[in-house]
Amino acid sequence: MKCPVCGGLNFYVKDPDDEYETYEFELKEGGASFASETAAAKPPDVREQTETYCNKCAWHGKFGALTKN
């Protein structure tokens, strides 16, 4: 699993209740792995249809698109 454009492994999602709040994660073992301090902030569930943004390039799309690589 990696970004389909740049091959990056670090991504973020936006809080569905606050578009300016973001939660960064790394792709590990087929899923989103949040850092311990991010996990403590209770990030939203990352599911197949969750809009996901690459930290390295301009790619964004559904999380499910990453799992198909």
Give the model confidence (pLDDT) of 42-66 as tens digits.
Answer: 888 899 999 999 999 999 999 998 8
Is 15 a domain residue?
A: yes
How many domains are there within the chain? Answer: 1
Percent of the chain's residues with pLDDT above 70: 96
In a domain, 63, yes or no: yes
The verdict on residue 3 lying in a domain is no
Is residue 62 a part of any domain in this protein?
Answer: yes
5 assigned to some structural domain: no
C-alpha to C-alpha distance for 30 and 41, rounded to whole angstroms: 22
Distance CA 53, CA 50 (A): 10
Query: What's the average model confidence in pLDDT over 6-34?
Result: 90
8-state DSSP, 27: E
Residue 40 DSSP SS3? helix
Higher pLDDT, 68 or 32: 32
Q: How many CA atoms lie within 13 A of 42 on its CB side?
A: 2
